[in-house]
Amino acid sequence: MPRANLFAKMMLILTLMWIPVALLYGYSNKTTTDVLRQELGESNRNQLAFFQSQVNTNIEMLASWPNLLIHDPDIESFRKLYTNGGYFNLDEINLVKRIQNKLSIQESSSNWKSRLHLYSPSLRRVVSENDARAYDPTALQAQIKPGWQVNRATDGSEDIFRFSWFTVAPYGIDDPALEAETIVELEFDSRNIQNMLDKFKTDGRHDPFYYRGDMGTIYNRTSDRDLTGRMMQKLNVSPLPESDNLTVRIDGEPYMVSIVLSKETGWYLIDYMPMADMLEPIRKSNLLFYSSILMLLVMGSVAAYLLYVQVQIPIRQLIRGFQSLQQEDYSVRIKPKGRNEFSFLSERFNQMVDQIQNLFEHVYLEQLHVKEARLKQLQSQINPHFFYNCLSFVTSMAKLGRMDAVVAMSHSLSRYYRYTTRQERELVPLREEAEFVRHYLEIQKMRMNRLDYVIDLPETLLDLYVPPLMLQPLVENAVIHGIEPHAEAGLIRITGELNDDGDVILRVEDNGGGLEAGEREQLERRLIEPMGEETGCGLWNVNQRLQLRGGREAGVRTERSPIGGLSVSLVWNENTLGKTDEADTLRRRSG
């Protein structure tokens, strides 16, 4: 499981810190919103109830006028009045004028515009403020009903509702229109209520209206009638309560609706307010809080990132550097960033690795020089077995009279030992190395008739410079370990290639017994370890010399050969060894 870095840990800590704060704030905000919604609803309902009480007070005051007028002496005299021939005398006319004057005074005593009508069944006359005329008892009989009567009328394009209240004397008669002595009618229209609705609306964000299902709606004069109509469509789904606060959604926006019933008239006083308007201060507070949380989270993220970049990354680079150093990779370097304590540590680390690398390379180079000196010493000595075998071959050919074989062996031996004993250059052309290997194979071929070889090297490779005696140890191993122990084997193939990446590959293959995969891995592992008693000096020395000049990517590689035996390859990049002997001179001077 990968370990979380410092940045991830700090972000996790910041998140865990802010989650409880956000949850507590959310809970507190929800509680506050619920309480505010409840209190605002209750306050709005109380305002409606108070407004309703004002309207009812005015209505009750108007309804009390007929009771007062019935007991007026002039009206009592009027109820006992009978005309002869249908005309009033002078006293009767003065009585009617006094009654009209009293009706006018009563109507003007209220802010509401109202009208009073005095009916006299005995005279079949109705007296109002400005008129005294006959009336139709049948029409009056249809109008007289208990309680407030409401009739719809039209004033232009607007509906007007007329409210009327009848009071009769004496009380308890069956047919007031025919049997009553006096009938007083009070009448007013809905414009009085509209005036009060307009005044109530100017006190806040209200849009009050009156509603009665069997009659219609009394709007305030600036009402949003379309929204009010859609509101009533929502409310009419179920019976309206006498007093309550409801939440209605229209086009996804919630509205708080307050309802109060007027028991005197049977009309509902309804007011609504957008919840968004009421909760706007809380919404702004929430926006400010969450913006602050987001800003603090961003600032915390930036601080965590800076700490991660300035602390953890340099520490991680130092750890990787020490791990590479532990794995003997002395080329590792840390690139300092900025001017702080970690850049100072990085510079000191690089200086330490430089000193260690120089020390190791110096010691390693000295050891390699010792090994090369030993190799040259071995090369300068005549291999007794190889030399004895070659002399035995010369003697045998001389006895058989095959002087051409004796001459060929002598020439090949002289050229072979001249190359091995007089090698002072650090780099030689591959062409000379290949020619030296060919002489060696010719000698072995004379001794071993079944031996055959193929040297197929492109011209582009023959001009490359390589360390001397790099190819011959591979060929010698192929002859001794691949061909001689197996009677059916006898082919050695030397090939080379230069790929697009500039890597040079020289292969020496045989069709002998070869090595298994595990044996090949063990052989390659021995080549990079310090040389022991079981490690062959030739291959180990070739691998070390090649890596010293070509880097860790260069060296000896093994694989199974397509022709059946073992394939041993020398691999390096063409830019690491040089192409001319001038490069060789520069290397010797710099060494």
CATH of the domain at 77: 3.30.450
- In terms of residue numbers, what domain contains 118? 71-189
pLDDT range class, residue 576, cuts 50, 70, 90: confident
Write down which residue in 360, 391, 414 finishes a domain.
360
Tokens 């017994």, residue located: 513
SS (H, E, C) 485-497: CCCCCCEEEEEEE
Same domain, 353 and 500: no
Rounded average pLDDT over 189-216: 86
Write down which residue in 158, 189, 220 finishes a domain.
189
Task: Please report whether residue 40 resides in a domain.
Answer: no
Tens-digit pLDDT profile for residues 508-565:
999 988 888 888 888 888 888 776 555 556 788 888 888 877 888 889 999 999 998 8
Rounded average pLDDT over 347-367: 79
How many other C-beta atoms can be found within 10 angstroms of the C-beta atom of residue 146? 7
What gap in Å lies between CA 406 and CA 446, rounded to an integer?
Answer: 10
Question: CB–CB of 538/486 below 8 Å?
Answer: no
Tens-digit pLDDT profile for residues 384-435:
556 667 777 788 778 877 788 788 888 877 777 777 766 667 788 999 989 9
What gap in Å lies between CA 419 and CA 443, rounded to an integer?
Answer: 14
CB under 8 Å to 163, separation ≥6 — which residues? 59, 148, 149, 150, 187, 188, 189, 190, 265
Rounded average pLDDT over 291-299: 85
- Report pLDDT for 373: 67
- Determine if the pTM surpasses 0.75: no
Same domain, 498 and 576: yes
Task: Please report whether residue 48 resides in a domain.
Answer: no
Tokens 């109509």, residue located: 229
Same domain, 316 and 437: no
**Strand residue runs (E) in 99-199:** 114-120, 125-127, 132-134, 149-155, 158-169, 182-189
Write down which residue in 167, 189, 211 finishes a domain.
189
Q: Is 564 left (phi over 0), alpha (psi -120 to 50) or beta?
A: left
What gap in Å lies between CA 213 and CA 232, rounded to an integer?
Answer: 10
pLDDT range class, residue 590, cuts 50, 70, 90: very low
Tens-digit pLDDT profile for residues 65-124:
888 888 888 887 777 666 554 566 777 788 888 888 988 888 888 889 999 998 888 778
Question: CB–CB of 257/230 below 8 Å?
Answer: no
Number of separate domains in the chain: 3
Same domain, 434 and 547: yes
Helix (H, G, I), strand (E, B) or coil at 333: coil
Tokens 């602050």, residue located: 292
